[in-house]
Amino acid sequence: MHAETQATAPSLTGAEQVEWNLSDLYPTIGSGEFLADFQRIAADAATFSQSWRGGLAALSDDQFLSMLQQLEHIYNTAGRLSSRVYLEWTTRSDDEQLIAWLQRVEERLVEVRQQLVFVPIEIRTMPDDAFQRLLASPLLERYRHWLEFNRSFAPHTLSEAEERLEAELDVVGINAWVKLFDQIHARQRYDVGGERLSLQQLMRWLQDTDRNRRRSAAFALSAGLKDQAPLLGYIVNMVLTDAMMSDRRRHYATWLSHRNKANKISDQAVESLVTAVTEAYPLAARYYALKRRILGLDEFYEWDRNAPVATDRETIPWETARSIVLDAFDAFDGRMSSVASLFFERRWIDAPVRPGKQSGAYSSPTVPDVHPYIMLNYTGTLRDVATLAHELGHGVHQYLARTQGYFNAGTPLTIAETASVFGEMLVFDAMMEQAADDRLRLSLLMDKLGDIVNTVFRQIALNRFEDAIHTYRRTEGMLTTDTFNELWMATQRPMYGDAVTLTDNYRWWWAYISHFVHTPGYVYAYAFGELLVLALYQMYKSNEVERFSDRYIALLEAGGSDTPENLVGKHFGLDIGAQQFWQRGLTFIASLLDRAESLADALAVKN
């Protein structure tokens, strides 16, 4: 998912009727097939538990394989049910019946998880000789990485009774706080320019060509967040407390260790990433200084950060966007465009903006025996074309990885952006080549650099805020609103340097960022994925390795069947654990910035 993709008001682009067909999951929510699986899955899980619980270590290879295949079937059914309800809910999030179904499915799947929780526990606690025998079995080769990954959580696993209780309490515990956070923002309206705008509409104002509209939107956002900050801050405090207590019970060394382990990456590798990016903050300041110069502003404020450079762009029709993306994919590798074409031909995309639809964009892998679905809010901007390329990249990745099966198809967050960012770069290069003049090339470059700065530098700045608030909660106690505000400003200012003036109104902007609540620790994965792809793209453009596209497709097909270090090392010979690796991506960013500055000089853009 794009780090900063927002929806806008609808316009005639040809995307108005591009709605997905979810019948490959179930015809409808409440159809006979849906209700049958909904009713049966808890019983299937109970039968599974009765059949296998307590004896995994003693199973033969054949029996263990049978157990895993049954487990995969149950997980696939659970994934079908949850995907069908969630996908429809994201397009009609104000529908109370859908909200009720979402809750019903979640509660049913908690029952299922409680019945299945013994599997990872027994894998983690079985005698080492029994576990090594399973690893050595040719029958279980397909599951080897998944078994090893599960086993690695042994020091952090609770008793079965505790794990079952945690799963049950999640419904009224941390998940309830997350839903409350979302509901507050879904219902909140911001008064600006005589209109009452939703958050997604307001964010679009912050990208407007009219500086007065951007400024008004910024002040409205601050006023609305300030009003809700005590409640939103309390929710974030509950998330911080839940994480602290969970890490304490599970013996994780730092607040981020659990996320890193789930991402199949070491604490040290993440630290090297954060260090490399924070040391390169001056690149972000250079970008904002250049943007101020291009826009002709004496001073550059937070409401200028996402201002468009070009003011005369035409709306890009849906079919044109489709051609741009598929042609760029095809020029790289026909396999990539062939898979991407399926999303259009078989109605796996929902593109129009409409009331009740959530903002942003995503590609959901659903389950391996179906296919991914893509949700967009397409309005015909260049950013929307980039978002289409981004999500189709995800979709291609998820589709190709399906063959790895339920346990290995999903990629950790650290390499989940591999195809999405690469797809964006392919489209960017194609549009740069086709641009009519240097002024348009400069505009395209500034847009791309803006996305990169948001994805790399801003996400690491957000990580620094998360680090500060988690650390404060664990050492000092609950955070007041003033403390949130102070830590927010202290961690954001270093990235902007002297190039951006942050007003006191900016102090409240931490309160709308959902990642802090939905997936604590997530944000660094954006920077990780972006810099990884920029390093790979640099290799591709410089012909550094032979048969690059074959290696790249093989990497996508591998899904999550190994660690990121092993997969990237195997296919491209790179060590992503080394700090110097990140310099490849940062050097590429610097080269784009050099090019933009040279174009600005050639076009006589004034200082």
Q: What is the pLDDT of residues 366-418, one digit of tens each?
A: 999 999 999 999 999 888 999 999 999 999 999 999 999 999 999 988 888 89
The two beta strands, 362-364 and 190-192, are unpaired
pLDDT at 9: 44
59 burial (CB, 10 Å; 0-12 / 13-18 / 19+) is middle
Q: Are 83 and 367 in contact (CB under 8 A)?
A: yes
The reported pTM is 0.87
DSSP letter string, 43-75: HHHHHHHHHHTT-GGG--HHHHHHHHHHHHHHH
CA-CA distance, 190 to 184, in Å (whole number)? 12
pLDDT for the residue 299: 96
Task: Give tens-digit pLDDT for 226-237.
Answer: 999 999 999 999
Q: Where are the domains of the chain?
A: 31-172, 173-189+197-313+412-607
Of 156-160, 428-432, 461-465, the one with minimum mean pLDDT is: 156-160
- For residues 262-286, one letter each, b for 16 or more C-beta atoms within 10 angstroms of the residue's C-beta and e for the rest, the string is bbbbeeebbebbbebbeebbebbbb
pLDDT (tens digit, 9 = 90+) per residue, 122-138?
999 999 999 999 999 99
Provide, rounded to the nearest whole percent, the portion of the chain with pLDDT above 70.
Answer: 97
pLDDT of residue 498: 95
pLDDT > 80? residue 265: yes
User: So what's the pLDDT on residue 6?
Assistant: 40
| Percent share of the chain, pLDDT over 90 | 78
Q: What is the pLDDT of residue 173?
A: 76
Strands of 161-237 (E only): list them.
190-192, 195-197
pLDDT in tens, 16-30: 999 999 999 999 999
Q: Which CATH fold topology does 31-172 show?
A: Butyryl-CoA Dehydrogenase, subunit A; domain 3 (1.20.140)
pLDDT at 72: 96
What are the angstrom distances between the C-alpha of 433 and each of 291, 430, 445, 548? 22, 5, 12, 21
**Position 5 pLDDT exceeds 60:** no
Do residues 217 and 456 make contact, with C-beta atoms less than 8 angstroms apart?
A: no
- Kindly provide the residue ranges of all beta strands, DSSP E only, lying in 322-470, ordered along the sequence: 349-350, 362-364, 373-375
> Which residues on adjacent β-strands are paired with residue 373?
364
Instruction: Inform me whether the pLDDT recorded for 311 exceeds 90.
Output: no
**For the chain, what is the mean pLDDT?**
92
Joined together, the tokens standing for residue 569 give: 């090392």
φ, ψ of residue 314 in degrees (nearest 5): -90, 160
Nearest to 92 by CA among 29, 31, 37: 29
Question: SS3 for 507-530, per residue?
Answer: HHHHHHCCHHHHCCCCCHHHHHHH
Determine the 3-state secondary structure of 92 from DSSP: coil
Centroid of chain to Cα 552:
21
Question: Mean of the pLDDT values across residues 542-550?
Answer: 92
Beta bridge partners of 364: 373
Lowest model confidence (mean pLDDT) among 192-196, 321-325, 350-354: 192-196
**C-alpha separations of 535 from 78, 271, 391, 530 in Å:** 37, 18, 20, 9
Return the pLDDT at 287: 98
At 606, the pLDDT band (50, 70, 90 cuts) reads low
Per mean pLDDT, which range of 49-58, 349-358, 390-399, 572-581 is the poorest? 572-581
Confidence of residue 581 (pLDDT cuts 50, 70, 90): confident
Q: Is the pLDDT of residue 239 over 70?
A: yes
Q: How sure is the predictor about 182, in pLDDT bands with cuts at 50, 70 and 90?
A: confident
CATH class held by domain 173-189+197-313+412-607: mainly alpha
